[in-house]
A and B are shown apart, each in its own frame.
Chain A
């Protein structure tokens, strides 16, 4: 089974621009979560989508947004880029349906390295 894929792998943008990152989950997974990884702040949760609906959101400004399509693929968008947005952006997919077990396991993609100049 193919893993989580993210495109592009690397991006260089300038301040004020906007960027869109894409994530394709493992086949059959309906939940996609996004994380930002930086040396200073570590791994921080951005948001989670399940069946095209955002179910959870982290503490990031409104410049960070996302969406999910009917095939479970997800995109995240960052508008008006700032230098501090330079980071590795990771997406993770999971079944997302906790059912009676109330547990789920996330599988991560390779990430998109965003550099803002």
Chain B
């Protein structure tokens, strides 16, 4: 079946540090890949996405590149801010129709804390 594995957290950084959160996946075919962010007490917000190999998704200084050869979609940001403190989820959508309709498979989430 499909699965997503994220690096263990929590991750604690100082403001302006470089961020990497690793994400690898297992899926048949060519899934779409997503990063969502969840702030305390809120739902999930779409951060970025990529729908085919070598695509780079980017938003608010965050980037992730869809690497099919390594089945990875690592999230990076060059300089984090205190306001980036949240839980980050990597997810895939199989793009195969049928039993895939509407079903995102999520990683376990990575808690990021940024200190001033």
Contacts and interface: CB of A to CB of B under 8 A. Distances in A.
Same assembly? yes
Which residue among B36, B44, B105 has the maximum number of chain A CB atoms within 10 Å of its CB?
B44
B43 A110 contact: yes
B100 to A, nearest CB: 7
Interface residues of A, number: 32
B95 A111 contact: no
Overall SS of chain A's interface: strand
23 contacts: A33-B102, A33-B103, A42-B106, A42-B107, A42-B108, A43-B109, A45-B105, A49-B102, A50-B102, A56-B100, A56-B102, A56-B103, A90-B43, A101-B51, A103-B32, A103-B95, A104-B32, A104-B93, A105-B32, A105-B34, A106-B93, A108-B36, A108-B43
Interface of B: 32, 34, 36, 42-46, 49, 51, 89, 93, 95-97, 99-109
